[in-house]
């Protein structure tokens, strides 16, 4: 693990196997400098254990950066459950996962992610109190952070459109949405309500049909969605969608979506910059969900307050875009540097406190 390319001085990585339930999981705690490590639990059928480890390491680091950039008092962590999980074993697997989370004594707070629902998290909560995203009192979300994530991505797209295209509205702006899960579907609604024209794709044909009916969206095959002649490409599926090859073929002028780890390689970001395509760093634009979770954890769960924090994603991205342009560097490099500085400052404050 220590030689893994995605290992980044993580504070703790817990490998979990529970023979009774069949659970196999990895919990990665990247940093607790700003507070308890917070991040969702993903259930996915990985090609290998090595692939699952890489995902946990990358995603947990991304959560540290995401929480730092959103000015949240939380560190970064992530969990992955290796699938598939048979339906008749799911409840036992989730309860065993809860026990694993509980063993960390609050160093990691979990929530839903890809392949895991709010209902699943309620099962996890039977065996640990370190679960978020369950509070149905936050607006109409029922504890689901997806609407807040989608709102933040929409706000981020507005900031990117203003920066790159000089437009203060989304009327007539063409957006290609890759992935129509909870966040992607809510994003389509947000964009449609502001007059955007949608092109969509998903492996779930029913979701595609629903988006066509509700939002007059154009549909294309999944393999073609990122290469459409649109203004904005919004990756909202799994990470790594923006490869070097894809970047070279992009017709959009903006990449701004909800997926984590959108850039497959650092070089993909370099090529985006060389081609003049504006990239909204994923962990900045998709922070709406974790902002909601932070509100729930802290007890500041007034919907208007949370929405105001989510809406601050727009000005935050505008600042990153301006810094990148001024320094003639790519946006993700600027964001990474800002996040690392925030985490380093928190560590320094902790050392001063301990010394005192």
Q: Token digits for 151?
A: 């709102």
Are 183 and 150 a contacting pair, CB within 8 Å?
Answer: yes
Other Cβ atoms within 10 Å of 150 Cβ, number: 26
Are 81 and 56 a contacting pair, CB within 8 Å?
Answer: no
Q: Token digits for 13?
A: 């990585």
Are 180 and 150 a contacting pair, CB within 8 Å?
Answer: no
Beta bridge partners of 90: none
Q: Which of 112, 63, 138, 166 is nearest to 309 (CA)?
A: 138
Q: Is 42 exposed, middle or buried (0-12, 13-18, 19+ CB in 10 A)?
A: buried
Rg (CA), the chain: 19
Helix (H, G, I), strand (E, B) or coil at 35: coil
Residue labelled with tokens 């935050």: 316
What does the alpha-carbon distance between residue 128 and residue 242 come to, in Å, rounded to a whole number? 36
Are 234 and 177 a contacting pair, CB within 8 Å?
Answer: yes
Centroid of chain to Cα 204: 21
Residues in the chain, total: 356
What does the alpha-carbon distance between residue 100 and residue 105 come to, in Å, rounded to a whole number? 10
Are 217 and 198 a contacting pair, CB within 8 Å?
Answer: yes
What are φ and ψ of residue 217, in 5° steps? -80, 150
Annotation marks residue 122 as catalytic: no
Which residue in the list 78, 342, 347, 351 is annotated as catalytic? 78
Residue environment code for 180-191, b if the CB has 16+ CB neighbours within 10 A, otherwise e: bbbbbbbbbbbb
Q: Which residues are annotated as a binding site for NAD(+)?
A: 179-184
Q: Which residues are annotated as a binding site?
A: 179-184
Q: Which residues are catalytic?
A: 78
């Amino acid at each position: 693990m220590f030689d893994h390319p995605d290992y980044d001085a993580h504070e703790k990585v817990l490998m979990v196997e529970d023979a009774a339930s069949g659970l196999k999981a990895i919990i990665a705690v990247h940093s607790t400098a700003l507070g308890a490590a917070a991040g969702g639990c993903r259930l996915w059928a990985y090609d290998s254990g090595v692939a699952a480890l890489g995902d946990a390491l990358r995603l947990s680091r991304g959560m540290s950066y995401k929480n730092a950039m959103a000015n949240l008092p939380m560190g970064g962590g992530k969990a992955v459950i290796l699938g598939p999980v048979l339906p008749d074993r799911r409840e036992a697997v989730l309860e065993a996962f809860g026990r694993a989370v509980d063993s960390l004594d609050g160093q990691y707070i979990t929530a839903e992610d890809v392949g895991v629902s709010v209902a699943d998290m309620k099962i996890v909560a039977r065996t640990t109190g370190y679960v978020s995203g369950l509070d149905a009192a936050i607006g109409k979300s029922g504890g689901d952070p997806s609407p807040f994530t989608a709102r933040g991505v929409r706000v981020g797209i507005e900031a990117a459109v203003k920066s790159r295209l000089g437009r203060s509205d989304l009327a007539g702006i063409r957006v290609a949405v890759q992935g129509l899960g909870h966040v992607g579907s809510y994003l389509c609604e947000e964009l449609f309500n502001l007059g955007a024209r949608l092109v969509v794709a998903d492996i779930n044909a029913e979701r595609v049909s629903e988006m066509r009916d509700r939002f007059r969206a154009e549909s294309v095959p999944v393999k073609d969605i990122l290469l459409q002649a649109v203004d904005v490409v919004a990756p909202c599926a799994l990470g790594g969608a923006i490869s070097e090859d894809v970047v070279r073929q992009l017709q959009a002028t903006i990449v701004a979506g909800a997926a984590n780890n959108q850039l497959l390689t650092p070089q993909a970001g370099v090529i985006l910059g060389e081609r003049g395509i504006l990239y909204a760093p994923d962990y900045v634009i998709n922070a709406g969900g974790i902002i909601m979770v932070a509100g729930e954890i802290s007890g500041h769960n007034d919907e208007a307050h949370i929405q105001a924090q989510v809406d601050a994603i727009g000005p935050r991205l505008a600042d990153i875009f301006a810094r990148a342009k001024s320094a003639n560097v790519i946006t993700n490099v600027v964001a990474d540097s800002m996040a690392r500085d925030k985490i380093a400052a928190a560590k320094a404050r902790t050392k001063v406190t301990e010394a005192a």
